Structure 1
Amino acid sequence: MFITKKHISRRAVLRGVGTTLALPLLDAMLPAMTAQAKTAANTPPRFFGGFVPHGAAPGYWIPDTVGALPDELPFIWKPMEPFRKHLNILTGLHSRSSEPPPGETGADHWVAAAFLCAQKPRKTSGADVYAGQTIDQVIAAKYGQETLLPSVEISVEDPGSGSSNCGEGYSCVYTNTIAWASPTTPLPMELNPQVVFERMFGSGSTAEQRAQRRERDQSILDSVNEKIKGMRTAISVPDRARLDAFTDNVREIERRMQIAAKATNAAPEGFAVPPGIPQSFDQHIKIMFDLLVLAFQADITRVSTMLFARDLTGRVYPECESPTLGFHGGSHHGEDPNLIKQLSKINQYHVKVLAYFVDKLANTTDGDGSLLDHSLLLYGSNMGNPNQHVHYDVPHILIGGNYGKLQGGRHLAFPTKQVPTGNLLLSILDQFDIHRDSFGDSTGPLPGLV
């Protein structure tokens, strides 16, 4: 056997007409006989932040024991059972930044923007919006400058769907995005998976070229097929399998987006779904998650955020066990045990689609581990019991190994109303070796997380 130090660059791409295909991590990108941790192919950890409004059904999400996770997870978190070794359930946190400023009223439903910055947004309906830079953008500033897309911001609910009237003196921008590049710079969240796909793989193509390619049912891979064939002859059998699996996934996502663009099935009542966007929430969010897995795998981006739903949404979820209950209406359960149970099924469904993403990460090889081993995911809400509109005892979970920095399998319980969510955000930044004295409304790092 001959061993050389020649290898493919981790930044290598295959270029074709209107196509730039980034590659997954291959053994050929690791210099022979060199530990991965000492090579340029050692990819920094990935971060994902997912926000869902309207809190969680009381009695269905807090574990009975503190410390090691119980043998059976609470109902809402049950879809996370296969990933318990990478799961941390956090209880008792206080989202103070989602409460009205002193002397003001009408925050509450209008402050999704506070989720990742832990800072109260300025009450304004004009252009002088002000919140805080969010942790995803702080992480992207450190780790995202070498990638095609420093960060990816995604939504699965159209701002024009009528889910919010943006009243009570707060700008719509506070509920339309959870990502802020600076306190005055909200980032738009992309709704259309086709646009996300083309940003990832369609570099250099014009809108006309993309439209023609879709009309001919062509794949972006068609223009780089010969280069893919040439690469396959120069890499190992395991690398060929990884490359083939990656390109197969690209083709499968294209196929599903083409089907979604041609679909004629009706959207949920009251929802105007723009053309080209899946009318089924389940199809929509899963395509978005598949795109994120490809983006993490090919190192197209290392940072992403997702808005699962907008505040006051009346959306129903036919795929869940409570298929006719509107999300916001169901959140006002009036402490009725039956309605609380129905709400818990919506909550569990959201976790179920998140688990779809986590499973994909867990089963995607990334160097000496999986993408899940090398990622940190935050999922949560800024409300506790939504019927009472309280912002303490808010549900949050952390998922992923973050290169061994984060121990899983735990329920970390904090004293109610004592620990602001800013402490969690500060601790997440520490996980990415970004050390600050404070962040948002933090009073210090979370004790016991590390």
Structure 2
Amino acid sequence: MAITLSRRTVLRGLGTSVALPMLDAMHPTRLLAASHRETSSPIRMGFFYVPNGMHMPDWTPKEDGASYAMTETLARIADHRNDINVLSGLTLDGARAHGDGGGDHARSVAAFLTGAHPRKTNGADIENGVSVDQATAMQVGDATRFSSLELGLETSSQAGNCDSGYSCAYASNMSWRGPTNPMAKEHDPRAVFDRLFGGQTEKETRRARSEREKHRKSILDFVEADAKRLHAHLPIVDRRKLDEYLYSVRDIEKRIAGAEKLGMTEEGVPDFPRPLGVPRELSKHSELMMDMIALAYQTDSTRILSFMFTNAGSNRSYKEIEVNDGHHELSHHGKSADKQHGIAKINRFHLDRFEYLLRKLKQIPEGEGTLLDHCMIVYGSGISDGDRHNHDDLPILLAGGGGGRIRSGRHIRYKNGTPLCNLYLWMMQQMGASADKFGDSTAPLDRLG
């Protein structure tokens, strides 16, 4: 006999809680915003930041509208052309100096989601604005297990001098719960996995982890009985969805364990103890984090997240793509053709990682479409040309269909100087948050629907 499930149904076991993907047997849920009701598929919001600007000649299309020709960099996501909008002309005024001198890199991150101009200090008296992800989470975030997730490929710092007198708190955090409260990001995919599939308390999670390590078990072994009971009562389509989802969870679990070249048992289960650190290769590290993001959205564990590829002003080299010079150093290209070529290669490397996520989201059915159809995800930087350190005409993508609210497949050119916060205000309203202004917004961004 088929059953009706709550959207919050989970599989439970010893110290383990495995949320489920959207199944046909589930009822729509309701946001806490009093006047807003969801469809059967909630909208997800995401923000992805890349440092040091872009090589803009390889980024910005020459044509406007749906018939634009993709540039050399944007061609990396050509398969998703109909799922993205390229937005030109948006500006981040809060990242400008306004009399404070140097520090454009730190300001570009601190202002990227807040629209605010951070106080210039490398001491304890930091001050910034509230970021759009947190402002939205404060209103609608308690509809999910995690009101928001803050992720990245590098750790956050809360003190120190990182950029011309600006605290490292500005340079390494773009999510801010309050003016003095940056939200540290998690960069270890194993830690994110444990958060998504751990118990209700840290004590339960530690106990389950100890049992898995002791008996070399998968996290799914603890919920096997619960999964079998549920499986028997689901319609055929939902059984297939559940089987595919559980397979993907176990596959990611294996890959996390394998990141440090751990062996496997004969049953194909990770041979714990769990490794320390993160994958050495940035591409593998990034892909595992994108897997975590897809799982977080798919299971409705959160609908709001932010992701920093690296911290502001990063001088990381990219030997994986044969770029041996530091990223920040290359961004100060002084019109050097060789340096601009290196910057463009790094831009494409980052966009390839984002393409991996878009592909994952498009492969997950949800409702009448895909998971990507129910997302609105911003990708870009708070600096345009890294050599000029300008904060206007930013490189910004908006990916996903926003639950039918976004008409994608276009290059939309706004008047240069249009606040980036106009986009954020529009996104907040689509999420059901009550807002008529955010940061330096002047109105919700138009021409998206």
* Match status 1:231 vs 2:255: no
My pick for the range that moved more, 231-240 or 281-290, is 231-240
State the shift of 1:202 in Å.
1.0
Residue number in structure 1 paired with 2:48: 50
My pick for the range that moved more, 372-381 or 91-100, is 91-100
Aligned pair partner of 2:20 in 23, 46, 69: 23
Seen in structure 2, the aligned counterparts of structure 1 residues 146 and 30 have a Cα distance that, compared at 3 Å, is closer
Report if aligned partners of 1:61, 1:77 keep a CA contact under 8 Å in 2. Answer: yes
Aligned pair partner of 1:144 in 127, 141, 146: 141
Report if aligned partners of 2:113, 2:133 keep a CA contact under 8 Å in 1. Answer: yes
In structure 2, C-alpha distance between the alignment counterparts of 1:383 and 1:39, rounded to whole Å? 37
* Match status 1:85 vs 2:86: no
* Match status 1:260 vs 2:233: no
Report if aligned partners of 1:297, 1:371 keep a CA contact under 8 Å in 2. Answer: yes
- Kindly provide the amino acid, as one letter, of the partner of residue 293 in structure 1: A
Q: Deviations over 1:14-68 (max 9, x none)?
A: 110010111111122249xxxxxx9987232001100111110031011010122
Residue number in structure 2 paired with 1:75: 72
Seen in structure 2, the aligned counterparts of structure 1 residues 263 and 380 have a Cα distance that, compared at 3 Å, is farther
Q: Deviations over 1:264-307 (max 9, x none)?
A: 9xxxxxxxxx9331111111111111111111111111111001
Percent of aligned positions that are identical: 37
Aligned pair partner of 1:115 in 112, 116, 120: 112
- Kindly provide the amino acid, as one letter, of the partner of residue 291 in structure 2: D
Q: Which runs of 5+ in 2 are unaligned?
A: 29-35, 264-274
- Kindly provide the amino acid, as one letter, of the partner of residue 426 in structure 1: L
Residue number in structure 2 paired with 1:357: 357
In structure 2, C-alpha distance between the alignment counterparts of 1:215 and 1:311, rounded to whole Å? 41
Report if aligned partners of 1:30, 1:39 keep a CA contact under 8 Å in 2. Answer: no
- Kindly provide the amino acid, as one letter, of the partner of residue 53 in structure 2: G
Report if aligned partners of 1:99, 1:107 keep a CA contact under 8 Å in 2. Answer: no
- Kindly provide the amino acid, as one letter, of the partner of residue 50 in structure 1: F
State the shift of 1:246 in Å.
0.8
* Match status 1:174 vs 2:174: no
Residue number in structure 2 paired with 1:431: 430
Q: How many residues align?
A: 425
Residue number in structure 1 paired with 2:318: 317
**Runs of at least 4 residues off by over 4 Å:** 38-41
Q: Deviations over 1:328-386 (max 9, x none)?
A: 12111111223212211110111111010011111101122211110100011011110
- Kindly provide the amino acid, as one letter, of the partner of residue 405 in structure 2: K
TM-score scaled by length of structure 1: 0.89
Residue number in structure 1 paired with 2:62: 64
Report if aligned partners of 2:102, 2:164 keep a CA contact under 8 Å in 1. Answer: yes
- 3-state DSSP class of the match of 1:27? coil
In structure 2, C-alpha distance between the alignment counterparts of 1:307 and 1:380, rounded to whole Å? 10
Aligned positions of 1:92-241 closer than 5 A: 92-101=89-98, 103-111=99-107, 112-159=109-156, 166-203=162-199, 204=201, 205-207=204-206, 209-214=208-213, 216-241=215-240
Seen in structure 2, the aligned counterparts of structure 1 residues 425 and 223 have a Cα distance that, compared at 3 Å, is same
Seen in structure 2, the aligned counterparts of structure 1 residues 182 and 222 have a Cα distance that, compared at 3 Å, is same
In structure 1, C-alpha distance between the alignment counterparts of 2:38 and 2:54, rounded to whole Å? 42
Seen in structure 2, the aligned counterparts of structure 1 residues 69 and 144 have a Cα distance that, compared at 3 Å, is farther
TM-score scaled by length of structure 2: 0.89
State the shift of 1:208 in Å.
5.4
Q: Which runs of 5+ in 1 are unaligned?
A: 32-37, 265-273
In structure 2, C-alpha distance between the alignment counterparts of 1:329 and 1:69, rounded to whole Å? 36
Report if aligned partners of 1:262, 1:276 keep a CA contact under 8 Å in 2. Answer: no
State the shift of 1:141 in Å.
2.4
Report if aligned partners of 2:14, 2:208 keep a CA contact under 8 Å in 1. Answer: no
Report if aligned partners of 2:140, 2:432 keep a CA contact under 8 Å in 1. Answer: no
Seen in structure 2, the aligned counterparts of structure 1 residues 178 and 69 have a Cα distance that, compared at 3 Å, is farther
- 3-state DSSP class of the match of 1:247? helix
State the shift of 1:428 in Å.
2.2
Aligned positions of 1:354-393 closer than 5 A: 354-393=354-393
In structure 2, C-alpha distance between the alignment counterparts of 1:214 and 1:370, rounded to whole Å? 36
